[in-house]
Amino acid sequence: MTQTDSNATMDPFASRIGPWLSARLPGSPVVTITDASEPAQGFSSRTILFTARWDAGEGAQARRLVARIQRDVAVPMLADVFHQYRVMRAIAAHSTVKVPTIDFAESDPAVLGAPFFLMDRVDGRVPPDFPSYHQQGWFAELTTAERTRAWWNGIEEMARLHRIDWRHFGFLAPQQETAPDAVFYLDRFVGNWFDWARDGRAFPVIAEALAMLRAAAPPAVQSGLVWNDARLGNTMYEVAGTGVAALFDFEVATLGPPEVDLAHWVYLDEVFSENFGVPRIDGLPRGAEAVAGFERIYGRPMPRFSYYMAVAALKILILSVRNYGNDKDMGAPAALPDFLVRRLEHYLGEFAAGR
């Protein structure tokens, strides 16, 4: 049997996950579920935070866990919660990258109504998206030097992610024999999302940009996992300090050049400041300063970085075309599409000019 906490809204979850978890622990102890809560955010899956408690031979045990439960989604690229599960397990198996530990998973929807996995809860703090970390919150309250250090610490952790051999993620590209390049990325992710997002409609600006970038793609110098949502808001930092505690949200991870993630990281800084009418906070590198730092950390030149900034601008523009928030308001301002079109034109211009 399973005891539950007093939160009535979490009772169905607690009464089901307790016995399920009990059967997977040594000795099948009685599991008590406490402190269960469901944060408001989460587009691709439900997220429930809770603590599992039980008695074992060595005494009382407690494990703080996070359940990620699959939703019914419209967009195919977010339809499988086990995509993230497989990616994070592969990261943990083949690197020291800081990602939450995942020991439990269930594909049978009979338990919670949908497939799910459980990962350890990591203590830390995340720069907020809304209101923007450029405007307020703990990140804005850091000194300029601390913000710069946190920003680069995130890049250092991401570089470790990108050093994992792409072949360890073969499930993302069955039968792929050559290193995934920018064309692979554009075809497998950007193009697929655009095909879904346009829903039979014509978007000449996007279609022309996609064709141009596909035709002008540089050869891949390095290939690996593309996090695909690389940004400060998906990086958890230590409770006190600027060290990285964990990277998370790998729902749409794929393969390709590391520059895809680096450009996305830089580009989202623009979205969460300039697009929202918020002054850009001091201490966050951009332009030549950012590229020089990337080259130092990755140990190689990145002469075509403007190409990847254009790819990032195109991707984010495509994500704005059709709502994929599963009946949740994504909070995007009304001017978002216009801003993103202008940014796409800007970076396409930079790339065409050879900068």
Instruction: Quote the pLDDT of residue 3.
Output: 41
- Please state, in angstroms and rounded to a whole number, the distance separating the CA atoms of residues 129 and 134: 9
- pLDDT value for 338: 85
Residue 269 forms part of a structural domain: yes
- Would you say residue 159 has pLDDT above 50? yes
Task: Give the integer Cα–Cα distance in Å for 161 and 24.
Answer: 30
Q: Does 127 reside within a domain? A: no
Task: Show Cβ contacts of residue 90 under 8 Å, excluding neighbours closer than 6 positions.
Answer: 164, 168, 169, 171
215: domain CATH number is 3.90.1200.10
Catalytic residue of the set 72, 108, 229, 338? 229
Torsion sign, CA atoms 265, 266, 267, 268? positive
Q: What is the pLDDT of residue 2?
A: 41
Span 60-81, average pLDDT: 91
Tokens of 324: 């994929």
Closest listed residue to residue 46, CA positions, set 128, 106, 115: 115
Do 189 and 286 lie in a common domain? yes
- Does 138 map to a domain? no
Q: Which of 29-33, 63-67, 201-205 has the lowest mean pLDDT?
A: 201-205
Co-location of 238 and 303 in the same domain: yes
39 and 163 together in one domain: no
For residue 106, the cross-strand partners are: 116
pLDDT tens, position by position, 297-343: 999 999 999 999 999 999 999 998 887 755 444 444 443 478 899 99
- pLDDT at residue 97 in the model: 98
Instruction: Give the model's pLDDT for residue 238.
Output: 98
Phi, psi of 113 (to 5 degrees): 90, -5
**Residue 79: pLDDT band with limits 50, 70, 90:** confident
In a shared domain, residues 165 and 310: yes
| Annotated catalytic residue 229 | yes
Residue 167 sits in the same domain as residue 85: no
The helix/strand/coil state of 47 is strand
Nearest to 36 by CA among 77, 5, 74, 79: 5
Could you give the percent of the chain with pLDDT greater than 90? Answer: 80
Measured CA to CA, the distance from residue 270 to residue 56 in angstroms comes to 51
CB under 8 Å to 15, separation ≥6 — which residues? Answer: 2, 4
Closest CA to 223 of 190, 185, 189, 250: 185
For residue 43, the model assigns a pLDDT of 61
**CA 165/CA 95 separation, integer angstroms:** 10
137 assigned to some structural domain: no
The CATH number for 60's domain is 3.30.200.20
pLDDT at position 327 is: 47
What does the pLDDT read at residue 297? 98
Q: In angstroms, rounded to a whole number, what is the distance separating the alpha carbons of residues 269 and 321?
A: 20
In a domain, 176, yes or no: yes
pLDDT band at residue 118 under the 50/70/90 scheme: very high
Q: What pLDDT sits at residue 40?
A: 66
CA pair distance 31, 75, nearest whole angstrom: 36
Residues 203, 322 share a domain: yes
Residue 150 shares a structural domain with residue 262: yes
pLDDT at res. 355 = 60
pLDDT, mean of residues 92-100: 98
Q: Do 79 and 168 have their domain in common? A: no
Q: Confirm whether 194 is domain-assigned.
A: yes
Whole-number pLDDT of residue 191: 97
pLDDT > 60? residue 253: yes
Could you give the 3-state DSSP secondary structure of residue 13? Answer: helix
Grouping H, G, I as helix, E, B as strand and the rest as coil, residue 284 is coil
> In the predicted model, is pLDDT for residue 121 greater than 90?
yes
Q: What share of the chain is helix, strand, coil (3-state, %, to 5)?
A: 40, 15, 40
Strand locations in the chain (E): 32-37, 45-56, 59-70, 102-106, 116-120, 224-226, 235-237, 244-247, 254-256
Indicate if the pLDDT at residue 9 is higher than 80: no
Same domain, 77 and 213: no
Assigned domain for 201 exists:
yes
**Quick one: pLDDT at residue 73?**
81
Q: Which domain holds residue 214?
A: 144-352
Instruction: Say yes or no: 169 and 262 in one domain.
Output: yes
Q: Is the pLDDT of residue 5 over 50?
A: no
* Proportion of the chain above pLDDT 70, given as a percent: 92
Q: How many domains does the chain have?
A: 2
Whether residues 161 and 14 share a domain: the answer is no
Mean model confidence pLDDT for the chain: 91
Say if residue 211's pLDDT is above 80: yes
- What's the pTM? 0.92
Q: Is the pLDDT of residue 8 over 80?
A: no
Tokens of 174: 């069955």
